[in-house]
Amino acid sequence: MEVKASLKYLRISPRKTRLVTELIKGLSAKDAEQQLIHLPKRSSQPVLELLKSAIANAENNFQLNKDDLYVKIARVDEGPSLKRWRPRARGAAYTIKKRTSHVHIVLDEIKGKTLTKKGIDKAEKDKKIIKDQEKETKGTKEIKESKIKKSQFKKAEKRIEKKASEGAIAKKKVFRRKAI
Protein backbone atom coordinates (compact mmCIF):
# COMPACT_ATOMS: atom_id res chain seq x y z
CA MET A 1 0.00 0.00 0.00
CA GLU A 2 1.54 3.27 -1.13
CA VAL A 3 1.19 6.28 1.14
CA LYS A 4 1.77 9.77 -0.27
CA ALA A 5 2.57 13.15 1.23
CA SER A 6 3.61 16.39 -0.43
CA LEU A 7 5.00 19.76 0.52
CA LYS A 8 4.48 22.67 -1.86
CA TYR A 9 6.10 26.10 -2.18
CA LEU A 10 9.11 25.33 0.02
CA ARG A 11 11.31 28.45 -0.14
CA ILE A 12 14.53 26.51 -0.76
CA SER A 13 15.82 25.87 -4.26
CA PRO A 14 15.12 22.42 -5.73
CA ARG A 15 18.81 21.79 -6.35
CA LYS A 16 19.59 22.13 -2.64
CA THR A 17 16.55 20.13 -1.58
CA ARG A 18 17.41 17.25 -3.93
CA LEU A 19 20.67 16.73 -2.04
CA VAL A 20 18.61 15.82 1.03
CA THR A 21 15.94 13.71 -0.67
CA GLU A 22 18.53 11.62 -2.55
CA LEU A 23 19.93 10.50 0.82
CA ILE A 24 16.68 9.01 2.06
CA LYS A 25 15.52 7.21 -1.11
CA GLY A 26 15.22 3.49 -0.43
CA LEU A 27 15.81 3.76 3.33
CA SER A 28 13.39 2.39 5.88
CA ALA A 29 11.19 5.04 7.49
CA LYS A 30 13.09 4.86 10.80
CA ASP A 31 16.51 5.13 9.12
CA ALA A 32 15.36 8.00 6.93
CA GLU A 33 14.06 9.84 9.99
CA GLN A 34 17.36 9.38 11.82
CA GLN A 35 19.31 10.49 8.75
CA LEU A 36 17.29 13.70 8.48
CA ILE A 37 17.53 14.50 12.19
CA HIS A 38 21.33 14.56 12.08
CA LEU A 39 21.75 16.20 8.67
CA PRO A 40 23.09 19.80 8.85
CA LYS A 41 21.28 21.01 5.69
CA ARG A 42 18.58 23.67 5.95
CA SER A 43 16.11 21.68 3.85
CA SER A 44 16.39 18.60 6.08
CA GLN A 45 13.92 20.04 8.64
CA PRO A 46 10.98 20.54 6.23
CA VAL A 47 11.66 17.17 4.57
CA LEU A 48 11.73 15.53 8.03
CA GLU A 49 8.33 17.05 8.84
CA LEU A 50 7.00 15.81 5.51
CA LEU A 51 8.32 12.31 6.22
CA LYS A 52 6.68 12.32 9.64
CA SER A 53 3.44 13.43 7.99
CA ALA A 54 3.62 10.53 5.52
CA ILE A 55 4.29 8.08 8.38
CA ALA A 56 1.30 9.48 10.31
CA ASN A 57 -0.86 9.11 7.18
CA ALA A 58 0.17 5.47 6.91
CA GLU A 59 -0.51 4.72 10.58
CA ASN A 60 -3.85 6.56 10.87
CA ASN A 61 -5.41 6.13 7.44
CA PHE A 62 -4.15 2.69 6.44
CA GLN A 63 -3.28 1.08 9.84
CA LEU A 64 0.29 0.28 8.73
CA ASN A 65 3.18 -0.22 11.13
CA LYS A 66 6.00 2.33 11.04
CA ASP A 67 8.61 -0.46 11.15
CA ASP A 68 7.28 -1.95 7.89
CA LEU A 69 7.59 1.24 5.81
CA TYR A 70 10.33 2.46 3.50
CA VAL A 71 10.79 5.50 1.27
CA LYS A 72 9.87 4.34 -2.22
CA ILE A 73 9.95 7.71 -3.98
CA ALA A 74 11.37 11.05 -2.83
CA ARG A 75 10.97 13.60 -5.62
CA VAL A 76 11.63 17.34 -5.77
CA ASP A 77 9.99 19.42 -8.49
CA GLU A 78 10.53 23.08 -9.23
CA GLY A 79 7.84 25.47 -8.07
CA PRO A 80 7.25 29.04 -9.20
CA SER A 81 10.14 31.46 -8.80
CA LEU A 82 9.80 34.79 -7.02
CA LYS A 83 11.32 37.50 -9.19
CA ARG A 84 13.21 40.28 -7.47
CA TRP A 85 15.28 43.11 -8.96
CA ARG A 86 18.71 44.39 -8.06
CA PRO A 87 20.01 47.76 -9.26
CA ARG A 88 23.14 47.64 -11.41
CA ALA A 89 25.38 50.12 -13.15
CA ARG A 90 23.95 52.88 -15.40
CA GLY A 91 20.37 52.41 -14.31
CA ALA A 92 20.09 48.76 -15.28
CA ALA A 93 18.24 46.19 -13.20
CA TYR A 94 19.13 42.50 -12.92
CA THR A 95 16.62 39.84 -11.99
CA ILE A 96 17.13 37.58 -9.02
CA LYS A 97 15.12 34.36 -9.03
CA LYS A 98 14.20 33.12 -5.59
CA ARG A 99 13.29 29.53 -6.39
CA THR A 100 10.71 27.34 -4.66
CA SER A 101 10.33 23.56 -4.45
CA HIS A 102 7.52 21.03 -4.44
CA VAL A 103 8.58 17.90 -2.50
CA HIS A 104 6.74 14.58 -2.85
CA ILE A 105 7.34 11.48 -0.73
CA VAL A 106 5.81 8.04 -1.31
CA LEU A 107 6.14 5.35 1.36
CA ASP A 108 5.50 1.67 0.73
CA GLU A 109 5.42 -1.53 2.78
CA ILE A 110 8.46 -3.76 3.01
CA LYS A 111 7.42 -7.12 1.58
CA GLY A 112 10.05 -9.52 2.93
CA LYS A 113 11.20 -7.29 5.80
CA THR A 114 14.81 -7.63 4.61
CA LEU A 115 15.17 -4.14 3.18
CA THR A 116 17.54 -1.85 5.05
CA LYS A 117 18.81 0.27 2.18
CA LYS A 118 18.24 0.35 -1.54
CA GLY A 119 20.67 -1.85 -3.40
CA ILE A 120 22.48 -3.16 -0.32
CA ASP A 121 22.45 -6.77 -1.59
CA LYS A 122 23.85 -5.64 -4.92
CA ALA A 123 26.58 -3.64 -3.18
CA GLU A 124 27.61 -6.66 -1.10
CA LYS A 125 27.80 -8.85 -4.21
CA ASP A 126 29.90 -6.23 -5.99
CA LYS A 127 32.29 -6.05 -3.03
CA LYS A 128 32.76 -9.82 -3.06
CA ILE A 129 33.43 -9.83 -6.79
CA ILE A 130 35.94 -7.00 -6.49
CA LYS A 131 37.76 -8.75 -3.62
CA ASP A 132 38.02 -11.96 -5.66
CA GLN A 133 39.38 -10.07 -8.67
CA GLU A 134 41.89 -8.22 -6.50
CA LYS A 135 43.21 -11.47 -5.07
CA GLU A 136 43.71 -12.91 -8.56
CA THR A 137 45.40 -9.88 -10.08
CA LYS A 138 47.20 -8.51 -7.04
CA GLY A 139 50.57 -10.12 -7.71
CA THR A 140 50.68 -9.56 -11.46
CA LYS A 141 49.39 -6.00 -11.19
CA GLU A 142 52.09 -4.92 -8.74
CA ILE A 143 54.85 -6.39 -10.90
CA LYS A 144 53.57 -4.64 -14.03
CA GLU A 145 53.22 -1.27 -12.28
CA SER A 146 56.69 -1.41 -10.76
CA LYS A 147 58.25 -2.33 -14.13
CA ILE A 148 56.47 0.54 -15.88
CA LYS A 149 57.41 3.11 -13.24
CA LYS A 150 61.03 2.01 -13.03
CA SER A 151 61.51 2.00 -16.81
CA GLN A 152 60.02 5.51 -17.15
CA PHE A 153 62.28 6.96 -14.49
CA LYS A 154 65.36 5.19 -15.85
CA LYS A 155 64.78 6.74 -19.26
CA ALA A 156 64.42 10.20 -17.75
CA GLU A 157 67.57 9.76 -15.67
CA LYS A 158 69.53 8.60 -18.73
CA ARG A 159 68.48 11.70 -20.68
CA ILE A 160 69.55 13.96 -17.84
CA GLU A 161 72.89 12.17 -17.45
CA LYS A 162 73.52 12.49 -21.18
CA LYS A 163 72.87 16.24 -21.12
CA ALA A 164 74.97 16.63 -17.97
CA SER A 165 77.89 14.80 -19.60
CA GLU A 166 77.65 17.15 -22.57
CA GLY A 167 77.90 20.04 -20.13
CA ALA A 168 74.48 21.46 -20.96
CA ILE A 169 73.00 21.16 -17.47
CA ALA A 170 73.94 19.98 -14.05
CA LYS A 171 72.47 16.65 -12.96
CA LYS A 172 69.00 17.21 -11.52
CA LYS A 173 66.82 15.13 -9.30
CA VAL A 174 63.86 13.69 -11.20
CA PHE A 175 60.52 14.88 -9.87
CA ARG A 176 58.33 12.04 -8.67
CA ARG A 177 54.76 12.68 -7.65
CA LYS A 178 54.45 9.29 -5.95
CA ALA A 179 57.09 7.28 -4.20
CA ILE A 180 58.03 4.04 -5.91
Q: Which amino acid is at 89?
A: A
pLDDT over threshold 80, residue 27: yes
Alpha helices for 38-119 (secondary structure H) = 44-62
3-state secondary structure of 3: strand
* DSSP letter assigned to residue 157: H
Give 100's Cβ-side CA count (13 Å radius).
11
In angstroms, the CA 176 to CA 151 distance is: 13
Q: Indicate the helix (H) or strand (E) that contains 115.
A: none
Confidence bin at 83 (pLDDT 50/70/90): very high
Q: Which pLDDT belongs to residue 48?
A: 97
pLDDT over threshold 90, residue 26: yes
Q: Which pLDDT belongs to residue 166?
A: 65
CA-nearest of 35, 42, 49 to 7 is: 49
CA-nearest of 56, 98, 75 to 6 is: 75
State the pTM of this model.
Answer: 0.62
pLDDT (tens digit, 9 = 90+) per residue, 87-135?
Answer: 999 999 999 999 999 999 999 998 865 555 555 554 555 556 666 666 6
pLDDT (tens digit, 9 = 90+) per residue, 135-171?
Answer: 666 666 556 555 555 666 677 777 777 766 666 555 5
pLDDT over threshold 90, residue 51: yes
Average pLDDT, the chain: 83
Who contacts 106 (Cβ-Cβ below 8 Å, separation ≥6)?
2, 3, 4, 54, 71, 72, 73, 74
